[in-house]
Structure 1
């Protein structure tokens, strides 16, 4: 069983706005409303791949109830802690003509220490049956930046691999928990290294530095350039096929789901990277977020090329 952790989910509402301008009013059609959060996107893709993940984290208020209803409709098993605060709302304004996306993301509700303690009990109970933990996304207000480190320590104590996808201080602290794998994109890795940009060699060096702190693998998503997977004695680079991109939002989450699925199946590292890239690319070809078509994934796996640039 794979458990996905979403500590700061959201009701995501996306509006299509032609010629979006700051300071102007825009009449729009009703927005597309989804149960959002990186871990929920991961769960959807795992479900499409035939897995039955269990979702957990924090949900509260009317937004939280709406998300739970949506998860029920999607037949996603969940064990969320109900909190007093209201789960956040995030807005996205998509201008297809200009090819831009403007987002307004609420910080999220305050989660009390008591609610965090209740979550710890639930997660540790789930760990008694879990084969893997995937922790994704930002932290809600009131949750310390070190929380992913703590989750990593809980998982390591019972020998369960944890895959971590977050950014900023949460990533810095999370690495201290020695997760099995982290999945930054290039911008997030640049921010971690306090650099405006990194070359491929510099990204590899940064990833190896992170591996030196106890992380087994660093998976760096590079958009249309593919991805790299770096370990202490491995460096793989993936080249992906050119596709018609419809909506890239959620592709990083889909990539992580593909990686988790393949790791769970004990595939080779090369095959794991193919699955990760194929799922990320397949998501970008769909209108929805955290959505793939399994037959498209299989086709993309065949078209994804892996090169082993370095070993040792």
Structure 2
């Protein structure tokens, strides 16, 4: 089972246009709307290969109500903490001529301690009956202390579940210090966490984050793949000659595939293979975590796992 903390949801809208030009009027050739934000993308990706996924999230207004129904339509059960503030909207504009994606993302709204306490309480009640994993991804809503996500890590550990963390900025050091079972971040986020140059040795970064946290550590490196270590085994995953034009949600899809396989008892190489296939499949299709599940099988066969 996978439980997801929906801490910063959004309505994600992707417009596809022939040729995006600043200052011009555009008529999209296609429009995609879906429940978005890192945690919701991760939940949908995991569900696409049959994971049992439950999400506890903060939703507001008509937009929030639409997101809840969209998640349920995707087969994800939801416990919603209602707030008066309208859930944000994030827009991506994909230009066919250039292959460039332009993104306009609203900041997550500010929530008070009472709202956060309601989320934590609901999450704690659900985890009492849901073994497996708790996934925490994205940034905490503004107005909360930097330790807010670390508190969720400890909440999961106290409930006896494994916790996966994918966050950044000031929330990341505290979350890592709370000793989650899995830390999945990208090269830049790992470098910031460790205070080292972003162009440094990714294997050394992964091993240092493991030494600091005791967690399984997976560091993604964009089109160059990923490195993972559990302290005993360190491997690198690559998928050559496959590039996509829609990167939004690829890291979230990667996490969805990774946690789903770990929840099923797969070893590190199998989990990393599926994660790579998920992230790449996402980049080939517009809209976060709306990839073709059949394409995942083809891509998995092309993933290369080597000792690092």
TM range (shorter): over 0.9
Q: CA deviation digits over 1:251-283, x for unaligned, max 9? A: 111111111111111111111111111111222
Give, in angstroms, the shift of residue 215 of structure 1: 3.6
Query: Does 2:81 align with 1:81?
Result: yes
Whether the 8 Å CA contact 1:132–1:162 is kept in 2: the answer is yes
User: What is the aligned partner in structure 2 of residue 158 from structure 1?
Assistant: 159
User: What is the aligned partner in structure 2 of residue 45 from structure 1?
Assistant: 45
Whether the 8 Å CA contact 1:151–1:177 is kept in 2: the answer is no
User: What is the aligned partner in structure 1 of residue 133 from structure 2?
Assistant: 132
Whether the 8 Å CA contact 1:9–1:88 is kept in 2: the answer is yes
Matches within 5 A, 1:42-121: 42-121=42-121
Give, in angstroms, the shift of residue 157 of structure 1: 1.9
User: What is the aligned partner in structure 1 of residue 252 from structure 2?
Assistant: 253
Give, in angstroms, the shift of residue 299 of structure 1: 2.4
User: What is the aligned partner in structure 2 of residue 173 from structure 1?
Assistant: 174
* Structure 1 residue matching 2:212: 3-state secondary structure: coil
Give, in angstroms, the shift of residue 194 of structure 1: 4.1
Give, in angstroms, the shift of residue 188 of structure 1: 2.0
User: What is the aligned partner in structure 2 of residue 228 from structure 1?
Assistant: 227
Whether the 8 Å CA contact 2:202–2:227 is kept in 1: the answer is no
User: What is the aligned partner in structure 1 of residue 14 from structure 2?
Assistant: 14
Q: CA deviation digits over 1:25-50, x for unaligned, max 9? A: 32333743221111111111221111
Give, in angstroms, the shift of residue 288 of structure 1: 3.0
TM-score by length of 1: 0.91
| Shift in CA distance, 91/295, structure 1 to aligned 2, threshold 3 Å | closer
User: What is the aligned partner in structure 2 of residue 207 from structure 1?
Assistant: 206
Give, in angstroms, the shift of residue 246 of structure 1: 4.3
Whole-angstrom CA distance in 1 between matches of 2:178 and 2:263: 21
Whether the 8 Å CA contact 1:61–1:85 is kept in 2: the answer is yes
In structure 1, the gaps of 5 or more residues are: none
Whether the 8 Å CA contact 1:37–1:137 is kept in 2: the answer is yes
* Structure 2 residue matching 1:111: 3-state secondary structure: coil
Give, in angstroms, the shift of residue 301 of structure 1: 2.0
Whole-angstrom CA distance in 1 between matches of 2:213 and 2:147: 16
Aligned residues: 306
Whether the 8 Å CA contact 1:241–1:300 is kept in 2: the answer is no
Whether the 8 Å CA contact 2:206–2:227 is kept in 1: the answer is no
Give, in angstroms, the shift of residue 111 of structure 1: 1.3
Whole-angstrom CA distance in 1 between matches of 2:69 and 2:123: 21
Give, in angstroms, the shift of residue 180 of structure 1: 0.9
Whole-angstrom CA distance in 2 between matches of 1:207 and 1:118: 35
* Structure 1 residue matching 2:170: 3-state secondary structure: helix
Whether the 8 Å CA contact 1:226–1:240 is kept in 2: the answer is yes
Whole-angstrom CA distance in 2 between matches of 1:32 and 1:49: 21
User: What is the aligned partner in structure 1 of residue 215 from structure 2?
Assistant: 216
